[in-house]
C-alpha cells in the first residue's frame, strides 16, 4: 500500500556524501519530508562507532529508517521510497535500471579521492588504524571491522596505482559517451520524463563538476550532456536536496571545523570573541 510519510522517515546522512545526495534528491523529488541525523564520516569516523555498525554493518551512509524498518544501500533506499510512498513515480525499471547500474559501477569514491590523493591517503590510513582499534575493543564486531579494513586497504592500493586511475578515467569517458548518444534525441535519459535514472545522473554530474571534470562536457564536447546538465541544474530539487556541484563557503567552514585542526580553529575563534568582548567592554565602560 502506498502511503505518505508524516515526518517518520529518518535519514542517517552526511551533507557532502555522494550517495546521501542521491537519496536526498529522491526524497525531494518524491515530495517527502524526513528528519536527518548527521554521521561524521570525515575525521570523526563515526561510521565505525559500534552503534552505527549495528545499524549498518557495511559502515556506510546513507541509512534510511522508516519506523522500525532499516533500509541500507542507496539504490535499495530509492526503490523503497518510490514503491512505498505516493508522490510522483520516479520509475526505476527497464532502461532506467541500466542507467542506474552505470553509475553504480563507476568507482566514484576512487574518482573523488584521486582529486586529493594525499589528503585521501591520510584519511584512509586513519580509517585503517581506527578499524584496528575498534576491532581490538569490540571482539563481537571484529569480523566486520576486519572486512572493512580490507576494503579500505584495497581503495588505498587503487589510489596509489596510476594504471588503475587511468582505467577509471577511461571508464568514465565511455560511460559519458553512452549518455551523450542517448541524450542526442531526448531530454532525459529514458525519454520525456525525469526518472530515478536522472536522480543518479544529476548527482553524478554535480560530483564530476565539483571535481573539476566539467570539461568533459564543455566547449562543444558532448553537447547533449551539456544541455542535459543545464536542464537538470534549473530543477529546484537539486538545491533543496543540497546537491553540490561546488563547495560553498559554508561547506568549507564545515569541513574545517571538523578537521584535525578543529580544536585549534575553535580556540582561535573563542580567542577572537574574547578579544572583541574586552574591546567592546572597554569602549563602553
Ligand atoms: N553501496 C553503498 C555505498 C555507500 C557509500 O559508499 N557510502 C559512503 C559515502 S558516499 C560512505 O558511507 N563511506 C563511509 C566512510 O567513508 O567511512 C550504497 O549504495 O549506499
pLDDT in 10s for each residue of the chain, 285 residues: 566 655 589 999 999 999 999 999 999 999 999 999 999 999 899 999 999 999 999 999 999 999 999 999 999 999 999 999 988 888 777 899 999 999 999 999 999 999 999 999 999 999 999 999 999 999 999 999 999 999 999 999 999 999 999 999 999 999 999 999 999 999 999 999 999 999 999 999 999 999 999 999 999 999 999 999 999 999 999 999 999 999 888 888 777 766 666 666 667 777 888 888 888 888 887
- Tell whether 169 and 66 lie within a shared domain: yes
47 touches 60 (CB < 8 A): yes
What is the length of the chain?
A: 285
Å from CA of 139 to ligand 1 middle: 23
- Cβ of 11 closer than 6 Å to ligand 1, yes or no, is no
The half-sphere exposure of 199 on its side-chain side, counting CA atoms within 13 A, is: 31
Could you tell which of 18, 25, 61 is best to mutate to test the pocket of ligand 1, judged by most ligand atoms within 8 Å of the CB? Answer: 61
Could you tell which of 60, 75, 145 is best to mutate to test the pocket of ligand 1, judged by most ligand atoms within 8 Å of the CB? Answer: 60
- Cβ of 100 closer than 6 Å to ligand 1, yes or no, is no
Q: Give the ranges where the chain is alpha helix by DSSP (H).
A: 18-30, 50-55, 74-84, 94-105, 108-113, 117-137, 142-159, 162-183, 196-210, 223-233, 236-240, 249-257, 262-284
111 touches 172 (CB < 8 A): yes
Task: State the Cα–Cα distance between residues 154 and 149, nearest whole angstrom.
Answer: 9
Cβ neighbours of 96 (radius 10 Å): 22
- Cβ of 17 closer than 6 Å to ligand 1, yes or no, is yes
- Cβ of 19 closer than 6 Å to ligand 1, yes or no, is yes
- Tell whether 159 and 269 lie within a shared domain: no
Å from CA of 150 to ligand 1 middle: 15
Q: Which atom of ligand 1 is nearest to the CA of 60?
A: 12
- Tell whether 143 and 52 lie within a shared domain: yes
Q: Which atom of ligand 1 is nearest to the CA of 104?
A: 19
Cβ neighbours of 78 (radius 10 Å): 26
3 falls within a domain: no
71 touches 63 (CB < 8 A): yes
- The three cell numbers locating residue 32: 517527502
Closest to 32 in 3D by CA, of 2, 63, 69: 2
Domain holding 209, by residue range, is 9-246
100 touches 196 (CB < 8 A): yes
79 falls within a domain: yes
92 falls within a domain: yes
Q: Which atom of ligand 1 is nearest to the CA of 39?
A: 12
Tell me what pLDDT residue 249 has. Answer: 83
- Tell whether 221 and 278 lie within a shared domain: no
137 falls within a domain: yes
- Tell whether 181 and 259 lie within a shared domain: no
96 falls within a domain: yes
1 falls within a domain: no
* Backbone angle region of 63, left / alpha / beta, with phi > 0 → left and psi within -120 to 50 → alpha: beta
Q: Say what the pTM is.
A: 0.89
- Cβ of 21 closer than 6 Å to ligand 1, yes or no, is no
Q: What is the CATH number of the domain that holds 192?
A: 3.40.30.10
- Tell whether 124 and 262 lie within a shared domain: no
Tell me what pLDDT residue 46 has. Answer: 97
- Cβ of 41 closer than 6 Å to ligand 1, yes or no, is yes
Å from CA of 47 to ligand 1 middle: 10
- Tell whether 162 and 261 lie within a shared domain: no
- Tell whether 194 and 276 lie within a shared domain: no
- Tell whether 273 and 238 lie within a shared domain: no
Tell me what pLDDT residue 274 has. Answer: 82
- Tell whether 240 and 260 lie within a shared domain: no
Task: State the Cα–Cα distance between residues 52 and 61, nearest whole angstrom.
Answer: 10
- Cβ of 73 closer than 6 Å to ligand 1, yes or no, is yes
- Report the domain count for the chain: 2
- Tell whether 99 and 238 lie within a shared domain: yes
- Tell whether 198 and 109 lie within a shared domain: yes
Q: Which atom of ligand 1 is nearest to the CA of 61?
A: 12
Amino acid at each position: 500500500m502506498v502511503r505518505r510519510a508524516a515526518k517518520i522517515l529518518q535519514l542517517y546522512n552526511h551533507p557532502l556524501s555522494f550517495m546521501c545526495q542521491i537519496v536526498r534528491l529522491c526524497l525531494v523529488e518524491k515530495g517527502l519530508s524526513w528528519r536527518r541525523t548527521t554521521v561524521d564520516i570525515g575525521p570523526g569516523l563515526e561510521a565505525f562507532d559500534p552503534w552505527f555498525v549495528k545499524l549498518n554493518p557495511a559502515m556506510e551512509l546513507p541509512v534510511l529508517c522508516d519506523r522500525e524498518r532499516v533500509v541500507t544501500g542507496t539504490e535499495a533506499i530509492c526503490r523503497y521510497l518510490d514503491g512505498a510512498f505516493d508522490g510522483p513515480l520516479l520509475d526505476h525499471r527497464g532502461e532506467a535500471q541500466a542507467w542506474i547500474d552505470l553509475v553504480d559501477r563507476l568507482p566514484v569514491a576512487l574518482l573523488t579521492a584521486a582529486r586529493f590523493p594525499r589528503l585521501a591517503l591520510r584519511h584512509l590510513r586513519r580509517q585503517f588504524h581506527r578499524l584496528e582499534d575498534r576491532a581490538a575493543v569490540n571482539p563481537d564486531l571484529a569480523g566486520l571491522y576486519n572486512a572493512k579494513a580490507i576494503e579500505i586497504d584495497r581503495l588505498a592500493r587503487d589510489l596509489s596505482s596510476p594504471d588503475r586511475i587511468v582505467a577509471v578515467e577511461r571508464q568514465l569517458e565511455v560511460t559519458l559517451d553512452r549518455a551523450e548518444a542517448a541524450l542526442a534525441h531526448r531530454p532525459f535519459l529514458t525519454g520525456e520524463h525525469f526518472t530515478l535514472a536522472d536522480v543518479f545522473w544529476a548527482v553524478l554530474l554535480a560530483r564530476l563538476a565539483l571535481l573539476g571534470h566539467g570539461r568533459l562536457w564543455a566547449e562543444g564536447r558532448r553537447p547533449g550532456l551539456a544541455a542535459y546538465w543545464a536542464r537538470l541544474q534549473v530543477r529546484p530539487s537539486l538545491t533543496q536536496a543540497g546537491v553540490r556541484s561546488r563547495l560553498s563557503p559554508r561547506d568549507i567552514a564545515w569541513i574545517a571545523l571538523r578537521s584535525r585542526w578543529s580544536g585549534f580553529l575553535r580556540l582561535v575563534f573563542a580567542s577572537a570573541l574574547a578579544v572583541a568582548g574586552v574591546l567592546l567592554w572597554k569602549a563602553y565602560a
